[in-house]
Amino acid sequence: MSIELGHFALILCFAVASIAAGAGFLFWKREGHLTDYARQASMLQFILVLVSFAALTQAFVTSDFSVALVYEHSHQLQPLIYKYTSVWGNHEGSMLLWVLILVTFGAAVALFGARLPRDLLALVLTVQSGLTAAFTGFTIFTSNPFERLSPAPFEGKDLNPILQDIGLAIHPPLLYIGYVGLSICFSFAVAALISGRIDAAWARWVRPWTLASWVFLTLGIAMGSYWAYYELGWGGWWFWDPVENASFMPWLAATALLHSALVMEKRNALKVWTVFLAILAFSLSILGTFMVRSGILTSVHSFASDPTRGLTILGLLAFIIGAAFALFAWRSKDLRTGGLFAPISREGALILNNLFLATAVAAVFVGTLYPLFLDAATGQLISVGPPFFNLTFSILMAPLLVIIPFGPYLPWKRADLLAVTSRMGFAVLATLILWLVVAVFTGAITSLAGVGLLLGFWVAIGAIAELADRARFGKASIGTSFRRLFGLPRNAWSTALAHFGLGVTVIGIVCTSAWETERIVAIQPGESVTIEGYRVELVDVVHTEGPNFISDDVNFDVTAPGGGVREATSEKRIYAVSGMPTTEAAILTYGFSQLYVSLGEQADDGAWVVRVWYKPFITLIWLGCIIMSGAGALSLTDRRLRIGVPQRVAKAEPEPAQ
């Protein structure tokens, strides 16, 4: 019964969203009650999808196998948390989650946007309703999660064992919030193009939404990377796989958008470009959904997929993106460029940032989609692997990393590079000293790793030095400096922290890539393998039973170089229902480095093939991402950016701070 209710709610939402979108586009020019209707329609869509999602969740939690989707992807013996996560551990359910987040954002704008100009609010909600209509329609007509089975089977087919992990509870929702949050920026951009009114205030309204999406996208990608790292058992944290690139491109675009919206907000410049980026970021999100869902590109993260759906998404994609860019081409020439600035200025630095991020998006885009084009054009099958991405991406990122620390030092409009550089003396000195010590110690001084480390230190130290410079450390008394430091606005802190986090991630990537070591051996219980001074001894193998799997637990004793023994367990599981084997790697963290122990098969003579990696400073990669997200969240709490407080932004020029 509740399943039918959920199905009905979703259909009703489709109807409401279609009507709201149609009416909105037809009548947006007429003042009156349209805005109120649009807001009510957005709230209604949210409630309907919530009901729908709750109905599906209930079916999964109670293991109602009369629902085809529950039968396909769940099992009574699954632990309760995986019954919940099974809801989106499949195509249909994940589309419903996608739509739920879409309408949640729409409702949030409706709720908190009371102070936006009424016609802009109406238009934003109209575009958002249009997106909701498109994606609920897609869900209902091609991926209906509410289909029934008759007669109902007694038992389900179980969720794919690889997905039976806490990662599924965290990664897709985070990533989807990030992806779909960009829809608000898209809606704002389209609304601005339709109404033809776009100014600094617009940028100020868009920025919190971009920032929020960016925070979630950053966390989602980092979480996905860590999940793949520990679950796939290959010890890799990033494969440049199409599915990964699909989430990385919107992130790059959103990062560019964050920075260009800053220029627009402060200086009323880069309008056309910012609007373009807002459309691009969400377009890349839908493209990502399309690539993941259609299975059109071979990916290590692919699950069963259906090409017919892919075609429908492609059509949807072509329509949404095509319409938006057509509108952009038609209307953007009416947007007047604003503030004038010299090439060497904060605007100039931010433009360089956008330039490199945009070319990086282009590089990833070309590398990801080129196999498709070539296949379609010549039938030749190729793959573009990590060498292409590592080469192009690192060359494009290196200059960006060099200029990042300069950015926050540069004043708007025009800057004196010499004076700025002289203020950065401490940062340069500190970076060089630290780098020399590390590079001589590791012997990396002339290698590529040395260059990478130098860039990482430069970005991280430059960010902190900028805060110190602003607090006038060394120029004022220590007490005054600390008072100044903590009195700095949150935006200054969040900029510095975000850049610092990036530096930390870069250092982690360089260290892991350059100094990772691995060994593969076949060992019997009682034997051991030594890597980088760590002695890994295979103690014994214990047969255990989990709720829905049986497992060989292989126990290791790991002796660190400085002494001290820790126990670790790798598991070789076989899931009862699917008969599918999985490997759970044992991961031990020493400081920022990790020891990763993965298992192969047991040979006939009883020996186990064991693959051991030592991954120096690998946790810095994710730690840096967490710092970046934290910085974004901090910036969101800045009073000036708070979503409900745009009352002062009606002025064209932002007023100087008090």
Of residues 442-461, which lie at the interface with other proteins (CB under 8 A)?
none
Unique residue bearing structure tokens 């509108």: 327
Select from 325, 370, 426, 515 the one that contacts other proteins (CB under 8 A).
370
Q: What is the dihedral of CA 431, 434, 438, 440, to 10 degrees?
A: 90
Select from 322, 385, 474, 606 the one that contacts other proteins (CB under 8 A).
385
Select from 115, 413, 535, 566 the one that contacts other proteins (CB under 8 A).
413
Q: Is 80 helix (H, G, I), strand (E, B) or coil?
A: helix
* Neighbour tally for 90: CB within 10 Å: 22
* Per CB under 8 A, 476 contacts other proteins: no
Select from 22, 578, 588, 626 the one that contacts other proteins (CB under 8 A).
578
Determine the Cα–Cα distance for residues 108 and 177; give it in Å rounded to an integer.
13
- How many amino acids of this chain bind other proteins (CB under 8 A)? 75
Asked if 455 and 444 count as a contact pair (C-beta separation under 8 A), the reply is no
Q: Which stretch binds other proteins (CB under 8 A): 76-84, 172-180, 295-303, 505-513?
A: 295-303
Cα-Cα-Cα-Cα dihedral sign, residues 23, 27, 29, 35? negative
Query: Of 311, 260, 255, whose CA–CA distance to 284 is shortest?
Result: 255
* Per CB under 8 A, 355 contacts other proteins: yes
Nearer to other proteins among residue 370 and residue 426 (C-beta): 370
Select from 311, 521, 531, 539 the one that contacts other proteins (CB under 8 A).
521
* Per CB under 8 A, 412 contacts other proteins: yes
* Neighbour tally for 39: CB within 10 Å: 22
* Per CB under 8 A, 233 contacts other proteins: yes
Beta bridge partners of 518: 613
Sequence-distant (6+) residues with CB within 8 A of 482 are: 471
Nearer to other proteins among residue 44 and residue 554 (C-beta): 554
- Shortest distance (Å) from residue 585 CB to other proteins: 10
**Helix (H) or strand (E) run with residue 467 in it:** helix 448-470
Q: Which stretch binds other proteins (CB under 8 A): 7-15, 294-302, 556-564, 626-634?
A: 294-302
Q: Is 211 helix (H, G, I), strand (E, B) or coil?
A: helix
Select from 191, 221, 296, 463 the one that contacts other proteins (CB under 8 A).
296
* Per CB under 8 A, 626 contacts other proteins: no
Q: Which stretch binds other proteins (CB under 8 A): 174-182, 380-388, 434-442, 589-597?
A: 380-388
Buried b (16+ CB within 10 A) or exposed e, 271-283: bbbbbbbbbbbbb
Unique residue bearing structure tokens 């999985």: 582
Select from 366, 448, 542, 550 the one that contacts other proteins (CB under 8 A).
366
Q: Which stretch binds other proteins (CB under 8 A): 33-41, 109-117, 291-299, 320-328?
A: 291-299
Select from 150, 446, 647, 658 the one that contacts other proteins (CB under 8 A).
658
Could you say which residues in the range 63-102 bind other proteins, by CB under 8 A? none
* Per CB under 8 A, 633 contacts other proteins: no
Select from 247, 582, 594, 629 the one that contacts other proteins (CB under 8 A).
582
Query: Would residue 223 be called left, alpha or beta, if left means φ above 0 and alpha means ψ between -120 and 50 degrees?
Result: alpha
Nearer to other proteins among residue 567 and residue 601 (C-beta): 601
Nearer to other proteins among residue 330 and residue 373 (C-beta): 373
* Per CB under 8 A, 599 contacts other proteins: yes
Q: Which stretch binds other proteins (CB under 8 A): 56-64, 188-196, 455-463, 600-608?
A: 600-608
- Shortest distance (Å) from residue 118 CB to other proteins: 28
Select from 479, 563, 564, 656 the one that contacts other proteins (CB under 8 A).
656
DSSP designation for 652: S
* Per CB under 8 A, 367 contacts other proteins: yes
Q: Which stretch binds other proteins (CB under 8 A): 386-394, 531-539, 554-562, 621-629?
A: 386-394
- Shortest distance (Å) from residue 351 CB to other proteins: 8
Residue spans of alpha helices (H) in 62-165: 68-73, 80-85, 91-112, 118-142
* Per CB under 8 A, 197 contacts other proteins: no
Could you say which residues in the range 159-178 bind other proteins, by CB under 8 A? 160, 162
Determine the Cα–Cα distance for residues 132 and 198; give it in Å rounded to an integer.
24
Q: At what angle do helices 166-195 and 242-267 cross, to 10 degrees?
A: 40
- Shortest distance (Å) from residue 103 CB to other proteins: 30
Sequence-distant (6+) residues with CB within 8 A of 639 are: 645
Residue spans of alpha helices (H) in 471-610: 478-487, 490-515
Q: Radius of gyration of the chain from Cα atoms?
A: 27
Q: Which stretch binds other proteins (CB under 8 A): 5-13, 124-132, 139-147, 574-582?
A: 574-582
Q: Is the peptide bond before 153 cis (omega within 30 degrees of 0)?
A: no
- Shortest distance (Å) from residue 15 CB to other proteins: 33
* Per CB under 8 A, 338 contacts other proteins: no
Asked if 123 and 191 count as a contact pair (C-beta separation under 8 A), the reply is yes
Determine the Cα–Cα distance for residues 305 and 532; give it in Å rounded to an integer.
42
* Per CB under 8 A, 344 contacts other proteins: no
Nearer to other proteins among residue 563 and residue 656 (C-beta): 656
Select from 58, 392, 442, 528 the one that contacts other proteins (CB under 8 A).
392
Question: In the sheet that 528-531 helps form, which strands lie side by side, from edge to edge?
Answer: 528-531, 534-545, 549-559, 565-575, 581-584
Query: Of 193, 211, 28, 13, whose CA–CA distance to 106 is shortest?
Result: 13
Asked if 157 and 72 count as a contact pair (C-beta separation under 8 A), the reply is yes
* Per CB under 8 A, 652 contacts other proteins: no
Determine the Cα–Cα distance for residues 658 and 650; give it in Å rounded to an integer.
18
Q: Which stretch binds other proteins (CB under 8 A): 19-27, 206-214, 361-369, 424-432?
A: 361-369
Select from 117, 338, 600, 630 the one that contacts other proteins (CB under 8 A).
600
Q: Which stretch binds other proteins (CB under 8 A): 9-17, 203-211, 216-224, 299-307?
A: 299-307
Question: How far is CA 387 from its chain centroid?
Answer: 23
* Per CB under 8 A, 387 contacts other proteins: yes
Unique residue bearing structure tokens 């959904």: 289
- Shortest distance (Å) from residue 31 CB to other proteins: 34
Asked if 479 and 526 count as a contact pair (C-beta separation under 8 A), the reply is no
* Per CB under 8 A, 208 contacts other proteins: no
